Amino acid sequence: MANKAKNTEFKIERESLGIKGVDEMIEGGIPRGAIIGLSGPPGVGKSIFTLHFLLEGARKGEKCVYINLEEPQENINNMINQFEFSKEFMNLVKEGRIVIKCFTYPEYEKIYSDLFQKIKEDEEIKRIVIDSFNCFFSASFSPESLNIGQEVNIRRMINQAFSMLRKKGLTSLLVLEMQLDKQPRFYYNVPHLVDGIINLDFLELGTIERRIFIPKMRWTNQFKESKSFDINKKGIVVLKEG
Amino acid sequence: MVIKNAKDFFINKIIFPNVLITDRPGVIISKTLGIFGNRKRRMIYDFEDIFASLQRETLAELGNGRASDLFYKIGKDVGTQYSFFFSKQKIPTLFLQSFINYTFSRLASVGMSFAKFISFDPKNISLVLEGEENIICRQTGNASMFAGLVSGVLSSLCGENIEAEAKCIDCSKKCRIEANRDISVKYLPSLKEIAPLKNYDSLNFPSKINLPSKLPALNDFYNFKKIIHKDTKFYFKGRVLFFSEANMPGIVAKNYEDNKKLFENATIKSAESLALDLFRETGKTKNKLNYLQGLLSAFGWGVPYYYKRESNQVIFKFLYSPINRYGSLYQALELNGFLNAIFNKKFRIKSLETKYNPVVTEITYS
């Protein structure tokens, strides 16, 4: 009987985020195929966090895609070059294991159907980062100015994106920007749709202190407290607390 | 609070369910919801050390008798005013016990641990409160302010004046405050003078907070473990905090009008001493000011959004600062002490002005 129960035990496959202390907060990693929202105010380290996720996937031989809708490629390269892992990261880019795509929003609006189609067709892609997902629906920055047609269109785009990510089983990180006053920029129902939320935050009291919070992670008994982290040459490093 | 019976449950969950809104920089709101409608109070945090130090200086200068009378008046004004926010009618005798349990348990949960054990005889209106390690008086050895607070709250709840006295044994090991009809009249507050302003709500509860820069809310301090709650007290960096309704500093200033110099000097001096210790490891002046801004924002003093240092003066501006009938002198003096410590100067308040719509308090020190 005990053996039978053991055989039917439901086990979630997990994907490491590439940051040891964060993986430890969520039973070893995020559920494979989950769509995770990564939120936080500007400057807290969200984009750097996603680099670890991409690098970890590429190290395992997975093809990883990073879509940036805010910064030019040069800025992304500059960000990567700050860290000790930059050489390895750039080699993986050259090898095609990590694909970086930067678009302005008008460009993206024109090509997003084709882009999604390509992602759909590429069997090798296992991980994707969209930085930031808010820019997927730029009109949402001033939601009060939206008419019903525009709002319906935005909701359709969000649902389409989620549907594609889920069907393909991609493990995804969606960067969700927060304004400095902590009011999330018009997320629609994104926090409900995602399988987990990782929130990075900082407090400035003479010096900057950063913490990571995981308020939501489906199928996971996540760590209930927050953890302190630092950004240094190694990237994001979760600090041990006494 | 421990809910002992159905009446306590009714008071806590139906009449006065309470929430604390802590996610807005510069503003802390205690919201009591219930069948009598919503009632909101603007709250602030401050350091126990500042107030305890002011009391010690007062005891030294005025002597125990006069100082105790002054503290009692402050406490009774605050207690009487506290009740304005809860019930305008006399509490039915049937519910009096539960209202008293509710009110004093809430005080006990924020450091006023003199009210840990409550014993009330509703028939004779006789109340005994006991506890230990009560905030402030554990440092000063004088519990008159809390006796006044008990008298103010109880009188309001009962609809008749009931005086109180501190009968502590070996302070701070056993706090004991008794209130009953046999204690002779000590002080009768003027309700007209201490009632909250008519436009209290519109001035103290901004509907939308627009921030010019990132400043923390109280919630951030909880999330970042800067404030911890332990044994009924709140601590910031090991220092006990005092949580009060935002009218309290104004009431303190009003009661010190006859001893203004003592009030000013003692408050500035204690804030200087606290700040020297608090900012010791913060390094540069700029970082200390940043720390101070964050601290005041999280403590609900308004959004300290503007600061300017000129050759011989410092200007500080608070957006959405708490507004009370007697002004912001107490906060301005405390900030005076903090700035003196940061700049290693002896500034004094040059001007203190509040503008409305939106509420902005501007303080200039020179």
Q: Is B229:B66 a contact under the CB 8 Å cutoff?
A: no
For chains A and B, CB pairs below 8 A equal 47
* Of A43, A31, A36, A98, the residue nearest A67 (C-alpha): A98
Lowest-pLDDT range, B29-43, B154-168, B259-273?
A: B29-43
Q: A204 contacts in B (CB within 8 Å)?
A: 214, 216, 290, 294
- The one-character DSSP state at A185 is P
User: Per the domain annotation, does B87 fall within a domain?
Assistant: yes
> What are B75's two structure tokens?
């406490």
Cα–Cα distance, A227 to A23 (Å, whole number):
12
pTM, 2 dp: 0.88
Asked if residue B225 and residue B120 are part of one domain, the reply reads no
Cβ of residue B9 closer than 8 Å to a chain A Cβ: no
pLDDT band at A242 (very low <50, low <70, confident <90, very high): low
Does B212 lie in the same domain as B181?
no
Three-state DSSP string of chain B: CCCCCHHHHHHHHHHCCEEEEEEECCEEEEEECCCCCCEEEEEEEEEHHHHHHHHHHHHHHHHHHHHHHHHHHHHHHHHHHHHHCCCCCCCCHHHHHHHHHHHHHHHHCCCCHHHCEEEEECCCCEEEEEECCCCCHHHHCCCHHHHHHHHHHHHHHHCCCCEEEECCECCCCEEEEEEECCCCCCCCCCHHHHCCCCCHHHHHCCCCCCCCCCCCCHHHHHHCCCEEEECCEEEECCEEEEEEECCHHHHHHHHCHHHHHHHHHHHHHHHHHHHHHHCCCCCCHHHHHHHHHHHHHHCCCCEEEEEEECCCCEEEEEECCCCCCCCCHHHHHHHHHHHHHHHCCCCCEEEEEEECCCCEEEEEEC
Q: What are phi and psi of B47, to 5 degrees?
A: -85, 135
Question: Mean pLDDT, to the nearest integer, of B136-153?
Answer: 96
For A132-169, the pLDDT digits (tens) are 887 766 544 555 566 777 777 778 878 888 998 999 99
Q: Is the pLDDT of residue A16 over 60?
A: yes
CA distance B362 to B366: 13
Q: Tell if the CB–CB gap between A211 and B279 is shorter than 8 Å.
A: no
Asked if A206 lies within 8 A of B220 by C-beta distance, the reply is no
B26 domain residue, yes or no? no
- Taking the CA of residue A91 and the nearest CA in chain B, the distance in Å comes to 38
- Cα angle A207, A224, B106; round to 5: 85
Q: Tell me whether residues B223 and A204 touch, CB distance under 8 A.
A: no
DSSP state of A178: B
Let me know whether B248 and B326 are in one domain.
yes
Residues B230 and B338 in one domain: yes
Residues in chain A with CB shorter than 8 Å from the CB of B211 are: 180-181
Could you read off the pLDDT of B42-94 as tens digits, one per residue? 999 999 999 999 999 999 999 999 999 999 999 999 999 877 776 556 677 77
CB contact under 8 A, B214 and A180: yes
Q: Domain of B344? A: 208-365
Segment 32-61 of chain A within 8 Å of chain B by CB? 41
Q: Say if residue B292 is in the same domain as residue B331.
A: yes
3-state secondary structure of A123: coil
Mean predicted confidence (pLDDT) in A177-200? 78
* B57 and B262 Cβ atoms separated by less than 8 Å: yes
Q: Supply the pLDDT for residue A107.
A: 82
B32 assigned to some structural domain: no
The chain A residue lying nearest B217, using CA atoms, is: A181
Q: Which of A201, A205, A211 sits opposite B294 (nearest CB)?
A: A205
Q: B213, A226: Cβ pair inside 8 Å?
A: no
Put simply, whether A207 touches B (Cβ < 8 Å) is yes
Q: Which amino acid is at B45?
A: Y
B230 with B328, same domain: the answer is yes
Domain stops at, among B161, B194, B227? B194
pLDDT in tens, B202-238: 999 988 777 766 799 999 999 999 999 998 899 999 9
Per the structure, how many domains does chain B have?
2
Task: Report CB contact under 8 Å: B224, A181.
Answer: no
Q: What is the mean pLDDT of residues B116-143?
A: 95
Q: Is residue B229 included in any domain, yes or no?
A: yes
Residues B295 and B212 in one domain: yes
Q: Are residues B227 and B175 in the same domain?
A: no
> Are B148 and B228 contained in the same domain?
no
If asked whether residues B135 and B158 sit together in one domain, one would say yes
Helix (H, G, I), strand (E, B) or coil at A44: coil
In a domain, B19, yes or no: no
Position A1 confidence tier, pLDDT thresholds 50, 70, 90: very low
Better-scored residue on pLDDT, A119 or B53 = B53
CATH number of the CATH domain containing B104: 3.30.1380.20
d(CA A181, CA A167): 36
Tell me: the pLDDT tens digits for B146-194? 999 999 999 988 889 999 999 998 888 899 999 999 999 999 999 888 8
Closest B-chain CA to A199: B223
Partners of A101 in beta bridges: A67
Q: Are residues B234 and B274 in the same domain?
A: yes
Q: For residue A146, with 0-12 CB atoms within 10 Å meaning exposed, 13-18 middle and 19 or more buried, which class applies?
A: middle
The answer to whether A144 faces chain B, any CB pair under 8 Å, is: no
Tokens linked to B163 = 């005086």
Provide the percentage of residues in chain A whose pLDDT is more than 70: 87
Q: Which domains does chain A have, with CATH numbers?
A: 12-238 (3.40.50.300)
Last residue of a domain, one of B148, B172, B194: B194
Could you tell me if residue B296 is inside a domain? yes
The domain that holds B327 is classified in CATH as 3.30.1380
Say which of B209, B223, B287 has its CB closest to residue A207: B287
Tens digit of each residue's pLDDT (9 = 90 or more) over A64-110: 999 998 889 999 999 999 999 999 999 999 999 999 999 887 787 77
Which residues of chain B from 287 to 346 reach within 8 Å of chain A, CB to CB? 287-288, 290-291, 294-295
Is B6 a domain residue? no
| Domain match, B189 and B224 both | no
**Any chain B CB within 8 A of the CB of A151?**
no
> Rounded to 10 degrees, what is the CA torsion of B91, B96, B98, B102?
60
